[in-house]
Amino acid sequence: MVKLNNEALFKNVRANFAHATLNFMFIIAFVNVFQWIFGAENSIVGVIFTIMMSASMVRDMTATPVKHLLIQAAVLLWMGTSAFLVNTLPPLAAFPVNLLTVFFILYAFTYEYSSHMYFPYILSYLFLIFISPVTAGGLPKRLLGLLAGAVCVILYQLFMGRRRAAETARDVLCSMADDAVAAITYLLTGEGEAADPEKVHRRLFGLSQTVYDRRKKALCVSDAGFSMIDAGRGLEHIVLLLVDLKEPLTPEMRRILEKTGEKIGEYRAYISQEGGQLAPPAREDFACGGDERAETDFYNALLYLHNHLLHLSDPQKRTHYRKTVLSVTVRLKAALDVSPVRVLYALRVAFLLSVFTLAVQVLALPHGKWLLFTLASLSVPYADDVKQKTGKRLMATVAGGLFSVALYSLIPSMAGRTAVMMLSGYLSFYCAEYTGTFTCSTIGALGGAVFMTAFGWSDVGTMAAVRLGYVCVGAALAVAANCLLFPYKRGTATRQLLKKYAATTELLTRVCRERQVDTQLYYSLVIQAHLLEAKLLQNARAAGWDQLDGILVKCRAAVRHAHRNRTEALGW
């Protein structure tokens, strides 16, 4: 067992060494340069942006960098101003400012369809209030630093994510092409495994997420975005045609499959930039004298795939946006996209953090920031996750506290303590689990608390115990508020999402039946259906639901049937 653990540790270090080391060096350099430009009083702002830059990569902002720069700048400037007001105004007067700011951050950076970004912003906001408050004289430089940080976030996105969309499209489409070829091989030779249409369909979620993140605005997707989704749907359609085939295969059907597999192989080579050519299928290759319907289906499917791969690779399609004919009211509603889940979560946590910020200020608690940091980190959207995360947080606090007491008691020098804090930050890059990451964070946080004020076992141990006490109180408040007073269960959210998914697919089915279709509406519904499915499946796995798959398959089949009828009536 020890050998296996050592092997796993070695593999983890080897896999993450270059990434962890480069990131750590970048963070050290960035914080030092930021501090040199904006002063030591704004060093915490530099730390904030190293967190934000990394966290921002859960979203793709590279398609509309100016738009996202303006959003980031507006949010960060308001965060800096609000933090100043919370520290300057009387506690009761600061309460509504704090409440509105936290609510806005939480609502703006939680998402129904993708990974949340709220925590780095909330944590940064609390840092600005409690770790490095600024006076009126220092506010202009603080705001200038935050504005520079917004620019850095977008530059980081442009550098790190410059090939993200192309790589996602290539990886997903190549995987789907491999699935189709493997399914053909199984039908022809019996080798390998039969097609898994569910697995193939779920690959589409990555394409839809990419297009959703890169849209210019609501109901404004480029033609290249349409083609990316349709190329994936074309490959899925081929797999579904293969699943529908009845065995044994006739000689004519075998020739059709051989030609289909050969053509998909050519397209895969083109997608992966391995030298393949994007030539359309030849109709005579599929005139085998067998089932005419099957010949037409496979030929049309390959032609559809070819056309959309061609459009996907056309640079002009990336900047061409078809106008929607929907009313301003409909577009405004789509842009706002009001979500009950996000509203309830933002209200709950904003109220909690604002109330206990007020309590910390009124009671003048010297280390109250640790209570608020804990409350913020444990107040997650679903009550189902709070207790498990609380247990991990407490374990990390105890483990990190014990390590800290031992290390900082034995190392009284500033240089030595700095080295320990830096090492704990570096080691956190190797931690995939929440417990490991927060153990390292605890060592770093306690290092900052005892750096110049506590020496010896007694002083350091007392500070560790004080921090543990605040963390325990924060954890108890988080559990009480999120699980007992204002519980919002994953099951409740999932049922709401399921209703929304059913309504979306029903509308998509109706849209498919219409002869004149608003293109932006159609593809927005397709994307929304995929993203809702992805979230529903994620929630179902976490909640242990088994009955969801049947509902999804039924809704999906209705959409496919309507889409096939449309393509047969209007052509590919």
Contact 355, 104 (CB under 8 A): no
Burial 515-550 (b: 16+ CB within 10 A, else e): eeebbbbbbbbbbbbbbbbbbbbebbeeeebeebee
- CB crowding 181-215: b at 16 or more within 10 Å, else e: bbbbeebeeeeeeebebeebbebbbbbbbbbbbbb
- Could you tell me the two tokens for 309? 């791969």
Q: Specify whether the backbone of 190 is left (phi greater than 0), alpha (psi in -120 to 50) or beta.
A: left
Q: What pLDDT is stored for residue 122 in this prediction?
A: 93
Task: Please calculate the CA angle 483-486-490 and round it to the nearest 5 degrees.
Answer: 65
Q: Mapping DSSP to helix (H, G, I), strand (E, B) and coil, where does residue 210 land?
A: helix
Helix 386-410 with 414-427: angle, nearest 10 deg: 150
Would you write out the chain's pLDDT as a tens digit for each of its 572 residues?
334 456 665 666 666 777 778 888 888 899 889 999 999 889 888 888 988 888 888 888 888 899 999 999 999 999 999 999 999 999 999 999 999 999 999 998 888 777 778 888 998 999 999 988 999 999 999 999 999 999 999 999 999 888 888 899 999 999 999 999 999 999 998 888 888 898 999 999 999 999 998 888 888 899 999 999 999 999 999 999 999 888 788 888 899 999 999 999 999 999 988 876 788 888 888 877 666 788 888 999 999 999 999 998 888 888 888 888 777 776 667 666 777 778 888 999 999 999 999 999 999 998 889 999 999 999 988 888 899 999 998 998 888 888 878 887 777 777 787 788 788 877 777 777 778 888 888 887 776 666 556 676 777 788 888 888 999 999 999 999 999 888 888 888 888 888 888 888 888 888 888 878 888 888 898 999 999 999 888 888 887 777 777 888 888 888 877 776 656 544 44
Per-residue confidence (pLDDT) for residue 340, from 0 to 100: 79
Whether residue 463 contacts residue 449, with contact meaning beta carbons closer than 8 Å, is answered with: yes
How far, rounded to the nearest angstrom, does the alpha carbon of residue 286 sit from its chain's CA centroid? 43
Largest CA distance in the chain: 90
SS3 at position 364: coil
Measured distance CA(108)–CA(110) in Å, rounded: 6
Question: Which residues, in sequence order, are CB contacts of 402 under 8 Å at separation 6+?
Answer: 464
Question: pTM (2 decimals)?
Answer: 0.86
Do residues 143 and 396 touch, judged by C-beta distance below 8 A? no
The closest alpha carbon to 247, from 298, 179, 187, belongs to: 187
Phi and psi at 321, nearest 5°, equal -120, 125
- Name the residue type at position 132: S
